[in-house]
Structure 1
Amino acid sequence: MSKKLVARTAKLLSENRRFKNDTGVSIAYEHQPKDPIERKHGILFAIIEIIGPTASSEEIAELIIDTLHGEYYKDLDKDPLESFEYALAKINEKLTEITEQGKIHWLGKLSGIIMVLSDKTVHLTQAGKAEAILYRSGKANVISEDLAGDAINPLRTFINIASGEVSEGDRIGIFSPGVFFHLSKEEIAKYVNDFHPSVAINHLANILEENNGSRRSSALIVEMITPEALSHDTIQDETEEDEVWITDSKKGIEAFTQSATPLALKIVKKSVGVMGLIMTFLAESLIPFVKKQFLKGKTLIKGVTAPKENIFVETKEALSNSRSEVMEFDEREDFTEKAPLEAARPIATENPKRSSLVYSSFKNFASTAKKTKSLIPKDKNLRVIAIGVLALFLITTSALSINKKRTNNHLSDAKKTLIEAQAKYDEADNFIILNENEKALADLKDSKTLTEKVKKANLLVTESDELLAKINGKLDAAMGIIKVSDTLSDLSKVEAKNTTGIVTVGTSLYTIDSENGTVYAVDIENGEASVVLDSPDIEGKVTAITRIDETNSIAILTDKPQVYTFDTKTKDFSKANISGEGWEKGVDIASFSTNLYVVSKDDKDIYKHIKTTGGYGKKVSYLKDASAAQLSDVVSIAIDGSVYVLKANGNVLKFTSGSPKDFSITGLPEALNDPKKIFTALGVKGIFIVNGDKVIRVDEKSVFVNQFTGDGFSNITGITANSSNLYILSGTKVYKVGL
C-alpha cells in the first residue's frame, strides 16, 4: 500500500514597489483548500512575474490567479487534469479580452509557472522564463523545459502541460526569472537539497537582499513528506519562517553598479554590430571603472580597504565558465509533456517599409548609369552599340528588380495572411476546449478561407497545406462529426440496385427496391443480406416505407398513390384496403401503434388513417389548423407519440395531438441546407435528420448532439434506429453506428 503524502511548503515574496526605472511585479501564490473535497481535487501553486507599469501588472497577475482559483474548483466532478486544462483556457481567454481592451504592455513580458498537486500527481505549465525544478535523490531536473507558450498570442499564453508522479522526499522549486539573475541553479540546488524548505528559503532571501535582488524575485519550494513527518516538524517553532518577504538592502550607485554589469552582459549576448560593441564597452569597461572609482572613494571616506568583487557580480569570463559547470537538467524523471492545444507557432515575418517600386527602380538605373559612364568607348559606332547593350541590360535588370520586389511584397502579404489564419485557428482551438463550438466553427471557417487564399496564390504552399490539414481536423471536432467507415452489409451482393427506405423488424433490417418492389433483408448480427420477396405485383414507384409496430409488418407508399403491406413473418404482400376515395398522394408515410400517417405536400396536410378490421379508414386531418402549418415544402415525417415534420428549408415542426409545440434546434454547427429524411420512434434515443451526406442527431430537448458521415454517404436513402444502434442506408450499403 502506497504511503500517503502531504506537501510542506515555503515561499519567497518580494515587495511590489513602484521604482522609477524598474517596474513590474513578482508574486508567489499557494492555495491549500480547507474543504476536503476541494483539497482532494488539488492544491494550487503559482509564480507570476510581469515587467511593466506596476499597477496594471498587478491587475493582470491578480486576474490570472483569480481565474485559476475560480475555474479550477468550478466542477469538482471533473478529472483534475481536465479542470486544469479548462482553467488555463479560461485564463488565456481573459488575457485575450484585456489585450483587446488595449492593455498590451505585458505581451512578451510575462513569466510564470502554474502548478496543481492532486494526491501524488503534479500538472504544471509555463510562460516565459520562469522555471520549475524537481529535486530528487540529490539530482535536479528542469521539469518545465520547453513548455512555454506563445509570448505574443494571448490565447496561447499557457498552452503546454507536463504531468508526473511525485514520491516521498521529492522537492519541487518554482522560481521567477529574477532569482536566477543573482543565483545559479547549482547554488539553489545546494540549499533546496540540503536544508528544510523554510531554511532554504531564508538563505535564498538573505543572498538576494545582499545583492539587491529583491525586485521581482519570487520562489516556492514544495516538499513531499508523510503526515507523520510533518507532525514532528519542529522548524516552525524556531526562527525560520515559511513565508519570507525581501526588500532592498542597498541603495544608490553601489546597488546600481552591482546589478548593472550582469544586465549589460545579458544584453550583449543579444546585440550585434555597433550596438554590441557599445554594450560590451559599457559592461566590461565603463561600469567596472565607475564601480572601482566609487569603491576607492568609499575607502578613503571610511578609511578601510575596498571590498573584494562580490561573487554574484558576473563577468563575461565567469558567465562563460559557469555554463560549462551547470548541472545536467536534460531529463524530467517520471514527467510527460501533454499539449491540450496543439503548440502551433505562427510563421515569422517581417514588416518592411514599402517604397515606390518605380522610384526605386529608376534610382537603381541612375546609379548604375553613373557607375558605367566611364566604361563607354569613345568611338562613335562602338559607343552606339555599347549604349544599346547597356540600355537593354539596364531595362532587363530594372524589370527583374521590379518583379522581385513585387514577389517579395506578395510573399510578405502571404505571410501576414497566414499568421492571421494561424491566430484564428489558435482561437478556435481554445473555444473547442471551452465547448463553445459555434465560435470555434466561425474561426475555423475564417482560418480556412485565409489559408486557401494563400495557397491559391501559389505562395507558402507547404505551410498552407500543413495548416489546412490541422484546420480540417479541428473542423470535425467543432462540428461534432463522427466518421463512419464500417459497413454492416452490401446489398449489391444480392444484386440490389434501387434500394430506398430501411426499417427494423425483430433481428432484421428491411429495404425495398423503388422500381419493382423487391424486398431485401439484412441480418442485424452478421450483416448477411438476402432477397425475401422478388418483384411483387406493385403499382407505381416506391416513395417511402415505415414499420407498423403492432403487426411486425411494413407499409409501403407508392406514387400511384397506393399503400401496400408486407408481413415479415408470413411474407404476405398485399394492397392495403381503404375506405372512402382511396389513398392520397404523399411524400412520406409513418406509423404509430397500428395507425398510418401520410403527409401530403399537395394538400399541405397530414392525414391519419385508423386501422380497421378490413383495412384502413378514410383520411382524417391530424392537424387542428393545417393552413397555419404551411406544409407546402414538407419533406419527411416521423412519430414517437408527437409528430415531427421536416421542411425543405431545414425547419422542424413538432405537433402533439395536432397542436404545434415549440421546437427549435439549437447548437447546429451549420444550417440544414439539404434536408432529406427525419426519423424517430418510441424507445429511440433522439431525433435523426438526413442532411446531404450527413446524419444529424438531436436530443429530446432539440439540442444538437453530433453528426455522422462517411466516404460512402453520398446517396443516403434511408435511416432507422433502435435503442442501441443507428442504421444508415446509402446506395446499396448499410452502415451501423452505436448510440
Structure 2
Amino acid sequence: MSPRNSDKNKDVIKELEKTISPILVVNNSSLKPYVELFEYAPENIYQQPLGSLVGFFEVKEFSDESAYVVNFLTSVLKKEYYINPKRPVTESLDSALHKVNIALSELAKHGNVEWLGKINAAICVLEKNNAHFSVSGDAKIFLYRNQSLSEISEDLASDSLEPHPLKTFVNVSSGRLEKNDRMLITSADIFHILPIIEIKKNFQRFEGDKFVQFLKTALSNQIEMIASVVVEMSEVIPIAATKALPRKKSSKAVNAFSQQSFASAKDTETLAQEQENELEMTILPADAEQEYTDEKTGHIYVQGEVNENNENANPQMNLYWDMIKEKISQGSYLTKNEIRKRFSLYKKQLAKKKELRRIEKEKQQLLAAEEAKRLEEERVLQEIQHEQQIAEEQQLAKLHLEEENQRQQENLAQENILAKAEVTKKKTAAKIKVTNIDAEESESEPTADSQLSFKEKLRLARLEQQGNAVIDLKNKTTKETETFEEEIIIQPEIQFETVETISKTTKFKALALENIKKILPLSKKLIAHTKIWLSKIGAIAKNRSHVAKPNKLANIITPHFSKIGKLFSHFSGKQKLFILFALALIFIAPLFIVRFLNRPKAPTIVELQDVPLTQIGALASDKNIDFNTQVQTILSNSNIVTALIANNNPTVVTKNSVIVLQNNQPKEFPIPTDSGAAVSATYMKDLSLVLIFTDSNKILSFSPISEKFASNNIDLSNISSGSPIGTYLTYLYMLDQKNNQIYRFPRADGGFGEKTSWLKDSTSLTNVSEITIDDNIYAISDNKILKFFKGKAVDFSLESSTTPINFDKIYTTPDLQNFYALDTQNSRLVSYSKDGNIIKQYHNEALKDVISLTVDEQNKLAYIATSTGLISLSIQ
C-alpha cells in the first residue's frame, strides 16, 4: 500500500472532537424533581474506552411518589455503566439499561406505579467516533448530516400497549459519526414550538454555539420543562507552535538623553485594531448574513444582505421592522399551535368517547350473551330434572303395580283357604244333620226288645259287632280327615309367617293368647253341653240297638257316639280340657285368622336407590365444559419432577437430568452427581435460567441457551428442601411452611443475595402445597386459593362450578392472560380469567395422576407431567 493511501486511512479513522451542549429548561421550580439531564465523562484512564454518557430522564407524572425517580435512575445508570471498564461498550450499555429496567420493576413492586407509561428518556454513549443509544417514551434523537435531518431513534422505543417496567428500554442502536455531524437529543415536546422543518432550517442557518443559543432561547420562552442535548462533531485543529523572533540589535547605540527618547510613539493599540478590521473585511464573504444579538433577551436576529436601494435607509427602522415581523410570526405560530392543540384535544376526546361507547356496547353484548347462556343452561337443567322426575314416577308406578299384583295373589290364596274351610264346615254340618235324622227315626220306632226272638237277637249281636268294626274304621278315617283339615288350617298360618315380618308374627302370637283367654270360659260351657249331648247320643244308640233292619249305609257313615262318649268319659279332666281346646282351635281360630288376614295393609314406602352417574354425566351441567379435548403423549419417563416452558420449549426436570424438547425431539442433560437429586424446579425468564432445588439443599441453574449447569451461592439454612419455589423478574421466592414465611432472594453475582422476609401478615402457610407467581403470589391451602400482594393476603375468589372444583395444581405467569387450575378427581383443567371468572373447562380421563402443570398460551397447549410421562392437552 502506498504511503499516500496510508495517510488517507489515518485521516479517516482519526478521532473527531465532540462538543456537547446540554440545554435544561425548568421555568417552574416545582418541576425540578421530575427531570434530570446528565453528561458523564470517564473519571480515570481506565474508563476512557467507555467514552461519554449523555442523555436525560423525564417523568410526566407530577405526584410526590414520582418525584426524584429520575435522580434515582440516573445514579443507577452511571454506576452500572462504569462499574467494569474491561467490558465492551455495548455490553456495558446493555447491562446498564437492564439495571434501569430492574430498578423500575422494584419501584413498581413496592406500589410506586403512577409513572408507568409516562417516562421519556434518551441515553447515548459517545465513544471515539461511534454513537450507541436507546430511547423510551416520547424521546427523540435527530442527526443532521449533509444538509438533511433524520430521526435515527425511530421505532427504538417499546410499542407495547400495556407499559411494563422491564420493557422500558428494549432496543439499542449504534452508528458511526462523521465530520460536521450534529445530533439533537430531545423529547417530543419540542414539536410544540418547532416542527421538524423548522429544526432543519435552523440547523442550516446556525452553527456551533449560535444554534445552542437559539434553541435555549426558543425553549425557555415557550416550554415549562424540557431537556435537550446538542452534540457537534468537528475535526481537531492542531495548534501551530509559534517561534520567538530573534531580537534585532540596533546598529546604533541608544542615547537615553537624546531627543528621540521623548518623541511621541504611534499608538500601537490603534494600529492593531485597524489591522484586525482589515483582516475581517478581507475574510468576510460578500453574501454573508449579518446577525444581531439582543443583549437583554438573548434573542438572535438574522439580517439578510442589505440591498443597494436601502443603503441610505435608517438602520434603526430596519431593526424595528424586523422585530415587528418576528412578533407577528411568533403570534401566528402560537395561534396556529394553539388551534392545533385544541383540535388534537378535541380529536382525542372524541376518540375516547367512541372507545367508551364501543367498550360499553361490547360489555352489553357480553352481558346479553352471558344471560342467554345462563337461560340456556337453566333450560337444559330443567329438562334434565324433568326427565329424572318422569323416570322416578315410572319406577314408582312399576313398584305400585308389582305390589298390587302381589296383593291380589295373596287375596286369591286366602280365598282358596277360606273356600276349603267352608267346604269342610259344610261336610261337618251334613254329618251332624244325618246323625240327628237317624236319632229321630230311632226315637220314633217302638222298642221291641221283648218281642224279639233269640235268633233275631243273635243276628243283631252279629250286626253290632260288624258295626263296631265299621266304627273303628270310621274313627281312623275321621282322624286322618282331621289331620288333613288341621294341615289345611295351619298351612296359611305358616305361609303368613313367611310373608310377614318377625314383628308381625310376635303381634299375632300376642293376639292369639288374648283370644285363647276369651275362649277359655266358653270352652267350659261347651264341655257341659257336650256331656249332655253325649248322654243323648248314648240313649239314641241304645234305641238303635232295637232296630230290626238297620241301614247299612247309615251305619258306615254315622259315627259310634257311644264309643266316643265312653272314650271321652275315661279321659281325665286335663285331657278333656286339651281336647276341647283343640276342637275350639279347629273351628273358631280360623275365623280370627281370616279376620286378621283381611285387615287393610299399611302402605309400604319403598325408597328408590340413586342410580350412580358417570363422570361425564356428573359434569354435563358444568359451565363451558369440553369433553372432546385432545391429549397427546410427548415423553415417557417415570422419574419426572416437574415440567416447564423454558426458552419457548417444553422442558422436563427429572430426578437426575434435564430434558429439553425441541420440535418434540428430546435432548437430555444429566445433572451433576455432586449436586444431589432434583426435588423441585422453576424458570426465571428474565435470565433464561432453569433453577433446580435439590435434596442436598442446593440451587442449581441450567441455561437452555448455553446448555450448561452452574451452582449458585445461596443461604438456605433452616429451610427444608421440599419448600415450594417460584420466580418473579430476577428474584427467587421460597415458601417455608415451618417458619410460616415467604422468603425473597435477589439475584447477585454467582448466585443469590441474602434472603428477606416478604410476608408481612400472619396468614397460616402450614398446609400450603404449591405456589405460582405473576404480579401476585398464589398458593393452594386446604383446597383454597390464597392470593398475596405486596406481602399481604388479599381477597380472591374463583367462580364456583356446579360440580365443586378440587384445586390440585395451579399455574400462571406475568405473560399469561389466564389462571389455570387442575382438578384430578374430576379429570378436568379449568381456565379462569385473572378476575376469577370461568372461561372454559377441559375434561379428559388422562388427567388423573398429575405431578405438575404448565401452560403455553401461544401454542394453545397445556403440558401435564404424570407418573408415567409428559402429555400435552389442547386448549383451543
Q: TM-score, normalised by structure 1?
A: 0.41
Which protein has the larger Cα radius of gyration, Structure 1 or Structure 2?
A: 2
Report which of the two has the higher share of helix.
Answer: 2
TM-score normalised by the chain length of structure 2: 0.35
**Quick one: higher RCO (CA 8 Å, sep 6+), 1 or 2?**
1
